[in-house]
Amino acid sequence: MSMRTVVIASRTGLHARPAALFVKAASEQGVPVRIRVGEGKAVPAASMLAVLSLGAGHGTEVTLEADGPGADDALDALAALLARDLDAEETSDA
């Protein structure tokens, strides 16, 4: 199993727009990805409800997990997304 640990950079954490962007990106990966906080239960990263249920705020360390061909690339892409402040990008887009 491939894993990546990353700290949530968005000011609002994995809520609202950052969560929606993450879930969309996760659902577009070629492999199922799971996300968890600490030693908690891993949930499907492509599920908005599951991701929101984690309560992952700004500065929270999360672990991404995936198996299969393309897992490393999928996790690299998703970890890079979470490491960006997606809230700041929204402000600069307006």
- Give me the active site residues, please: 15
Amino acid in position 55: G
Whether the Cβ atoms of residue 78 and residue 64 lie closer than 8 Å to each other: yes
Q: What gap in Å lies between CA 78 and CA 74, rounded to an integer?
A: 6
DSSP 1: -
